[in-house]
Amino acid sequence: MKVSIIGCGRWGSFITWYLNKTGHRVSLYGRRESRKMAELFSTRSNGTIALPESVTLTTKLAQAVQNDVLVISVGSQGLRALMQELTAFDLRDKTLVMCMKGLEISTGKRLTEIVKEYTDTKTAVWLGPGHAEEFVRGIPNCMVIDSADDRVKETLVEEFSSDLIRFYYGKDLIGNEIGAAAKNVIGIAAGMLDGLELSSLKGALMSRGTREIARLIHLEGGSELSAYGLCHLGDYEATVFSKYSHNRQFGEKLIKGECYSQLAEGYHTVKALMLLAERNYCALPICTAVYQVIYEEKDAKKTLDSLFSRSIKNEF
């Protein structure tokens, strides 16, 4: 299978390395002005991933779209602009695979909803736990591929599976997309707890966070069970505890008053979740607390403490 990865960040570079390792002909596209792409051209490494000569590097989007499968790994807020660029090309026989986790901040739309505005081509999502730093050391994990088209889903799972990644078939595109995006917000909350030296509360955070996202998924038309799968709860270890988690690190540094320059998708996603909560009349207490700390600059300790003053009720 000929595959192009669009996006040369940490995850896009890993996917390039992984799909090349599993026997595919792979190209990696990054913008000409990208410092990350310049580094890859110069050294074929980003410090974590080393790409072999069999991988084609390109800064020409027209070259990248010649392949059959386009795996997209860009910041979720940049997807719409990318799709506008891609409309210049014939995508009818392509398969687009979204490999990022987020919701559009201004509309609350899922990534596949944005893609559908520009093309009717086959679309899938690749979600679940794992960090590039661990995969390249041979540490395996489980992930999920979902699509509205069962044949697309089955083909991708068959082609992409290996001893390093065991893929499952997703059965709920709505739930998987919302769950995957929302886990980054829970990751920020976990980082806040670390920054406040309240890490022992992460167990409660995981339990209650999963429950509120399950309710939202149900109201959006998905299955509550998806929140307990690989897209959300199954990704908590990598997001809530891992030293490699950008969202956890962002939350911790925010509490400590330190700058964090890496992309933390949960920063944008929490604002989109507030739109979905309002639309569905759905209470999202943990996500709301994260939003208030980030966007309203409320005191983190008092805001998180307020979660304990909510009315007492049955757990389920």
φ/ψ bin of 257: left (φ > 0), alpha (ψ from -120 to 50), beta (otherwise) = left
Predicted confidence at residue 120, as pLDDT, reads 93
Reported as a single tens digit per residue, the pLDDT across 78-128 is 999 999 999 999 999 999 999 999 999 999 999 999 999 999 999 999 999
Reported as a single tens digit per residue, the pLDDT across 173-189 is 999 999 999 999 999 99
Alpha-carbon dihedral sign for residues 98, 100, 102, 107 = negative
Reported as a single tens digit per residue, the pLDDT across 31-46 is 999 999 999 999 999 9
Q: pLDDT category, 142, cuts 50, 70, 90? A: very high
Reported as a single tens digit per residue, the pLDDT across 203-248 is 999 999 999 999 999 999 999 999 999 999 999 999 999 999 999 9
263 has pLDDT over 90:
no
Domain final residue, candidates 123, 151, 169 = 169
Q: Do both 54 and 78 map to the same domain?
A: yes
Predicted confidence at residue 307, as pLDDT, reads 84
Active site residue 101: no
310 has pLDDT over 80:
no
CA distance 63 to 173: 30
What's the domain count of the chain?
Answer: 2
CA distance 242 to 252: 12
The boundaries of the domain holding residue 70 are: 2-169
Q: Do both 55 and 183 map to the same domain?
A: no
313 has pLDDT over 80:
no
Residue 315 forms part of a structural domain:
no
Domain final residue, candidates 169, 188, 210 = 169
Reported as a single tens digit per residue, the pLDDT across 191-203 is 999 999 999 999 9
Give the pLDDT mean for 286-311.
90
Q: Do both 89 and 205 map to the same domain?
A: no
Residue 60 forms part of a structural domain:
yes
- What's the CATH number where 48 sits? 3.40.50.720
Predicted confidence at residue 159, as pLDDT, reads 97
Q: Do both 184 and 163 map to the same domain?
A: no
Q: pLDDT category, 314, cuts 50, 70, 90? A: confident
Q: Do both 33 and 152 map to the same domain?
A: yes
CA distance 304 to 312: 16
Domain final residue, candidates 169, 194, 225 = 169
CA distance 17 to 55: 8
Residue 126 forms part of a structural domain:
yes
Predicted confidence at residue 55, as pLDDT, reads 97
Instruction: Let me know: does 30 contact 4? Beta carbons within 8 Å.
Output: no
Q: Do both 248 and 143 map to the same domain?
A: no
Burial 170-180, CB ≥16 within 10 A → b, else e: bbbbbbbbbbb
Predicted confidence at residue 316, as pLDDT, reads 73
Q: Would you give the DSSP letter of residue 309?
A: G
Q: Do both 237 and 104 map to the same domain?
A: no
Residue 11 forms part of a structural domain:
yes
User: What residue spans of 45-121 are helical by DSSP H?
Assistant: 61-64, 79-86, 111-116
CA distance 6 to 264: 19
Q: Do both 134 and 274 map to the same domain?
A: no
Predicted confidence at residue 53, as pLDDT, reads 96
Please pick, among 94, 183, 253, 271, the residue that the annotation labels catalytic. Answer: 183
Q: Do both 229 and 267 map to the same domain?
A: yes
> 0.75 exceeded by the pTM?
yes
Predicted confidence at residue 306, as pLDDT, reads 87
Residue 316 forms part of a structural domain:
no
> The tokens of 60 are what?
């020409």
Q: Do both 19 and 63 map to the same domain?
A: yes
Percent pLDDT > 90 in the chain is 95
Predicted confidence at residue 308, as pLDDT, reads 76
Residue 27 forms part of a structural domain:
yes
Average pLDDT, the chain: 95
